[in-house]
Amino acid sequence: MARKLIFIFLIFLTILSVDVNCFKLQQVLILSRHNLRTPLTSNLKDTSPHKWPKWKYDYGYLTDKGALLESYMGEYFKEWLNEQGLLPPVCPTADDVFVYANTKQRTRESANAFVRGAFKSCNISAYSINSEKMDPVFNPILRDTSEETKRKIIAELENKLRELDLDEAYTHLSEILDLKNSHICKNDLLCDFSQFKNEIVYVIGQEPRIVGPLNTTNNVMDAIIMSYYEGMANEDVAWGKINKAQQWTLLTKIIRENQNVRFNSSTLGRNVAKPLLKYIQGVFTDIPPRKVTVLFGHDSNLNSVMAALGLKHYELPNHYEATPPGGKIVFQKWHDEKMNRDLLKINYVYQTIDQIRNTYYLSSKNPPFWVDLELTNCSVDKNGFCPWEKFQKMLISIN
């Protein structure tokens, strides 16, 4: 009886092995946010009587630590692509891999760092157009001039603003800043973030913007969390006033909601992400197909693409942001040899808070986190796959 059970178990393992081995990775497109950077603005001194920490880099620039973290990501992904058999353990050809970045320093240098980590001593380099202006592919600006589109987008923005529930976060941030003793309170009478209205700025050729407490507090929290990521001493991170995970969860809701309002709605997402979505569609229809494409943009790019595609809500364990620095949406085309069909799998891959703050090296033994993503109109099976044909039709319909 025991021998019979062992025999049945071995047959089961063989079947399981066949099922696993019949899935072959054919193509990968990685849409990445740049890694750790400095705050985007230096205009914060009016928000608090306290002295803000100094950075040794220009504002909005990738830091040395951000470059190192991104090189770790590159090294990890090369290992993963080797393990999946998509790229060889030796140097791939330039026809097999293309790394493309927006023109901003933080995206260009993130791409360069990824290449250094993934393709040491290989003839692979990151590409970026030679311009100081935003690359049109990555520029998340309003494009459609029709009044109907404008009406729909403004309605989406207004609805998002009505749903905002940030009073608790605003109150706690005001206490940390000592807002009542700040310049903006004494001179501009902005002493309570929750008492001021957010205004929508809708201008063709510009990013959708919100002027008001959401923008002001987002800039403040961006500066605070970037100093935490950078590994600054606790007393230099919000003057030592954030020391519990619950505080970070509450306060970073401001960052999440800023992106949610400005880029995470369907009509707006399709409008501002149109060139990037068209580029992604082209990558997946090119013949012969390129095996690996890595795109380096911004959180606005990731959010607008996810909104346009209709990705379901997701949570990132061990992180406070929905689109953290260096985080990547990994689109994968798999082939099921047993059923002779192509399949889509999408993951969010990111470095956790500890991995970022403590600059942990990444490997298969200490990997970044992987979270499964799902499209609203393309339900996944137990293995996280949905039909590739549905994804292709979706890309065509929104382009």
Give the residue from 199, 232, 266 where a domain finishes.
266
Residue showing tokens 């600059």: 359
pTM comes to 0.93
pLDDT tens per residue, range 118-136: 999 999 999 999 998 999 9
Residue 298 lies in a domain: yes
Same domain, 133 and 200: no
Residue 354: its H or E element: helix 353-357
List, in sequence order, every residue forming a beta bridge with 295; answer none if it has no partner. 31, 100
Q: Which domain holds residue 161?
A: 147-266
Q: Which of 222, 298, 299, 319 is catalytic?
A: 299
Residue 61 lies in a domain: no
Residue 95 lies in a domain: yes
pLDDT of residue 12: 38
Mean pLDDT for 24-50 is 96
Tokens of 130: 């030679």
Residue 53 lies in a domain: no
Same domain, 213 and 294: no
Same domain, 260 and 271: no
Give the residue from 209, 231, 266 where a domain finishes.
266
Q: Which of 34, 135, 222, 298 is catalytic?
A: 34
Active site residue 299: yes
Give the residue from 266, 294, 327 where a domain finishes.
266
Confidence grade of residue 143 (pLDDT, cut at 50, 70, 90): very high
3-state secondary structure of 292: strand
Residue 31 CB partners (closer than 8 Å, separation 6+): 280, 295, 297, 301, 302, 305, 328, 329, 331
Active site residue 222: no
In this predicted structure, the answer to whether residue 32 has a pLDDT above a threshold of 80 is yes
Mean pLDDT for 225-233 is 97
Tokens of 151: 């009406």
d(CA 28, CA 203): 35
3-state secondary structure of 225: helix
Same domain, 40 and 101: yes
CA-nearest of 143, 101, 96 to 122 is 96
d(CA 20, CA 186): 65
pLDDT tens per residue, range 277-311: 999 999 999 989 999 999 999 999 999 999 999 99
In this predicted structure, the answer to whether residue 3 has a pLDDT above a threshold of 50 is no
Q: What's 373's domain CATH number?
A: 3.40.50.1240
Residue 60 lies in a domain: no
Q: Provide the number of structural domains found in the chain.
A: 2
Q: How high does pLDDT run on average in the chain?
A: 93
* Terminal-to-terminal C-alpha distance of the chain: 61
